[in-house]
């Protein structure tokens, strides 16, 4: 997977994670908040992987 795809998927996961956290907070659903936080962190990591891939490709 290219760095750009990793970064895009990371942004998407981060956004969905933030939404889950917000819904969990509003509804008092701690499990959903936790899932959202985990997905947000996964997205942040995916973005970093994409950045590293892009940096390695540059001469």
43 touches 55 (CB < 8 A): no
Give domain limits for the chain.
Answer: 3-57
Tens digits of per-residue pLDDT, 7-38?
999 999 999 999 999 999 999 999 999 999 99
Confidence of residue 58 (pLDDT cuts 50, 70, 90): confident
Confidence of residue 43 (pLDDT cuts 50, 70, 90): very high
Residue 1 is predicted with a pLDDT of 63
């Amino acid at each position: 997977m290219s760095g750009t795809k990793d970064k895009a998927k990371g942004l998407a996961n981060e956004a969905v994670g933030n939404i889950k956290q917000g819904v969990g907070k509003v509804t008092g659903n701690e499990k959903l908040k936790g899932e959202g936080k985990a997905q947000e962190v996964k997205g942040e990591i995916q973005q970093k992987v994409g950045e590293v891939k892009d940096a390695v490709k540059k001469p």
